[in-house]
Chain A
Amino acid sequence: MSTKTAMETPTTMTASARTKLRTDSVGMIFDRDGKSLSVLENINLEVSEGEFLCLLGPSGCGKSTLLSAIAGFLTPTSGEITIDGEAVRGPDPRRIFVFQERGVFPWLTVEGNIGFGLGKLPRKERAQRVSHYIQMVGLEGFEKSYPHELSGGMKQRVEVARALAVNPDVLFLDEPFGALDSITRLIMRGELLRIWQAERKTILFVTHDIDEAVQLADRVVVMSARPGHIQQIVPIDIAHPRDISSPRYLQLRDGILNQIGLAHKL
C-alpha cells in the first residue's frame, strides 16, 4: 500500500507493539426487574499501545458497557480486564473517559474545565498546560467562556482537552461526536486523528457509525447484541489521511456492512 503522507502512519497490529490492554473472557450480567440479562459474553480483546480501536455495533450491543467496564466504572461479572498487566479496580487518572459533550462541567469556564484534573500542579505549570491544550483544540479567545456560551463542537473540544491535559496513556471515547451535526462531526474526526498522531495515546472509541469507525480506527471490533459479543475484528490497513472514496475504503466498509447483515439493503 502506497502512502503520500510525510507523517508516519502506525501500521495496524505491528508485531512489535506492546500490549496495553487485555480483556479475558469478560462477561457482564445485569439484574433488570429481577430477571438477569446477559449484556456481554466472552469478550476477548487485546489492544496495543498507541492503537486506535473502534468498538462498533448497534445500540444495545453492550459496547458502551464494555467501555465503562474497561474504564473501571463497572465491574465485570466474570473475566478480567488488565491494563499494563495490572487488573483494573476502578477509574484512574491515567485513563480518561470522554463522554459526549455532556461531561463538561457547566459551572466552570473553559479554562477551569481544562485545568480540572490539574489540581496538584503548581499554578504556573497548570496555566501553561491549560493554554497549551486550549491552543491544541483551537479554543483561543474562549478561555473565560462558560460551556453554555459554546456550541456543541466547542464543548466537545473542551472535554477532549480536559482529558488530554492530565496526560493519560489511554482515552476512552463513548460516541463522542454523536450529538454533533454531520459537518462538525467530520471536522472533529480530523482533529482527533491529528491529536492522536501528535500525542500517541491508546484510544478506545465507541461508535455506531460504520463510516466513522473505518475512517478512524486501526482495527474495528464489530459487536452484535443480545448478549453482546465480538462478531469480528477488522483491521483497517489504509494509511492516514484516508481517502474515503478509495476502493479499499469502500471494500472494508462494505465488508463490515455485510458482516452486520445490512449490505445493499438501502
Chain B
Amino acid sequence: MSTMAQPRKWEYVFWPLFATAIFIAFWHYTVVWTATKIFPSPLEVERGFAELTHKGVLYHDIVDSLRRVAVGYLAAVAIGIPLGLMLGWYPTVNQIVNPVVQILRPISPIAWIPLAIIFFGVGDYAAIFLVFLGAFFPIVVTCVAAVSNVPLIYRRAGRNFGLTPARILSRVVFPAALPQILVSLRVALGIGWLVVVAGEMIAVTSGLGFLIIDSRNSGKRYDLVVGAMILIGVIGLVLDTLFRQIEKIKPVRWGFRDES
C-alpha cells in the first residue's frame, strides 16, 4: 500500500485499534518484565473494573461527575456568553473590566479550592463552582474577541437594513461570532472535565476524581486508579466527539472550513 493512497474505510477503524492494541501490549509486557508489584497490568485493571461495575459504584461515580460538569459548565455558558457579547459590543466597558478578567483568568481553578470550600462548604457546589471557574473565563475572553472580529461589513449591512442595535447584536454579531464562540465552548468543556476530577479529590465523596483518590487512600488499589484514569480519558473523548458534531450544523459550518 502506498502512502499516497486514500485510506480505505476499514482502515479508519483498523489502524487506531491496532495502535491501541500495541499500546496495551507494551503496557502489559512492561509490567511483566519489570515485575512491579505496584503498577497494575491491563488485565488487573479490567478485573478491578468488573468488580466496581458489579457493586454499582462506577455508574454512580460517572453520573455524579457528569452532573457536576453539566451544571458548572452550563452556568458558565449561560453567564459567559451574554457577558462576553456585551463586553465585546461595548469596548469602553471592556477596557474597564479587562484588567480584572486578565488577572483572574490565569489562576488555576485548583487554586480556588480552599476558597470554594469556604464559600460553599465541602460538597457538590464547591466542585461545581470550580468547573464554572474553569469554563467561564475562556468563554468570556473568546466571546469578546469574537465580537470584535466580526467584519465591519456585516455590521454595516445590519445598520443599512435599519436594524436596532439589539437586533444587530442578535441577528448579525452573534451568528457571525458563533463559530469562534463554539470553539471556546469546546475548549471550556474540556477544561470543565479536567477540573471536576481535581475538585472531586478534595471537595466531595463521589465521582471519578474521588474514586481515584479513595482507591489510593483505602488500600492502594492502583488497578482502580489507572482504571478511573482511563475512564476519564474515554469520557473526555466522547464529550469532545459529541461536541464536534455541533460544528457540522450548517449555520456554523462556514466557520470551520479549514478543518478536515
Taking Cβ atoms with an 8 Å cutoff, the residues of A that contact B are 71, 73, 90-93, 95-97, 99, 102-103, 105-108, 116-117, 119, 146-148, 166
Contact = CB atoms under 8 A, between A and B. Distances in A.
Query: Interface residues of B toward A: which range?
Result: 20 to 34
Nearest to A95: B160
Contacts of B175: 105, 107-108
B154 A103 contact: yes
A92 B162 contact: yes
B156 A91 contact: yes
B174 to A, nearest CB: 9
B160 A93 contact: yes
Given A99-B153, A105-B154, A107-B178, A90 B159 contact: yes
A150 B216 CA distance: 58
B254 interface: yes
Given A92-B162, A93-B162, A148-B257, A103 B157 contact: yes
Contacts of B151: 102
Interface of B: 151, 153-154, 156-157, 159-163, 167, 171-172, 175-176, 178, 250-255, 257
11 contacts: A92-B160, A96-B160, A97-B157, A103-B153, A105-B154, A105-B172, A106-B255, A107-B254, A108-B251, A116-B161, A146-B251
A97 B257 CA distance: 28
Nearest to A159: B157
A172 to B, nearest CB: 9
Nearest to B255: A106
A73 B157 contact: no
The 7 closest A-B pairs by CB, nearest first: A117-B161, A106-B254, A93-B162, A107-B175, A91-B160, A107-B251, A148-B254
Given A97-B156, A106-B254, 4 more contacts: A92-B162, A93-B162, A99-B153, A105-B157
B161 A93 contact: yes
Contact of A146 (B176, B178, B254): B254
Contacts of A108: 175, 251
B133 to A, nearest CB: 31
Among B157, B162, B171, B175, which residue has the most Cβ atoms of chain A within 10 A?
B157
Nearest to A148: B254
Contacts of B161: 93, 96, 116-117, 166
Contacts of A147: 254
Contacts of B178: 107
Nearest to B157: A103
A91 B252 contact: no
A120 to B, nearest CB: 9
Contact of B153 (A93, A102, A107, A148): A102
A147 B176 CA distance: 13
Nearest to B174: A107
Among B160, B161, B176, B257, which residue has the most Cβ atoms of chain A within 10 A?
B160
Contacts of B251: 107-108, 146
Contacts of B250: 146
B151 to A, nearest CB: 7
A32 B156 CA distance: 22
Contact of A97 (B160, B176, B252): B160
Nearest to B158: A116
Contacts of A103: 153-154, 157
Contacts of B257: 148
A91 B254 contact: no
A71 B160 CA distance: 9
A203 B124 CA distance: 64
A106 B157 CA distance: 13
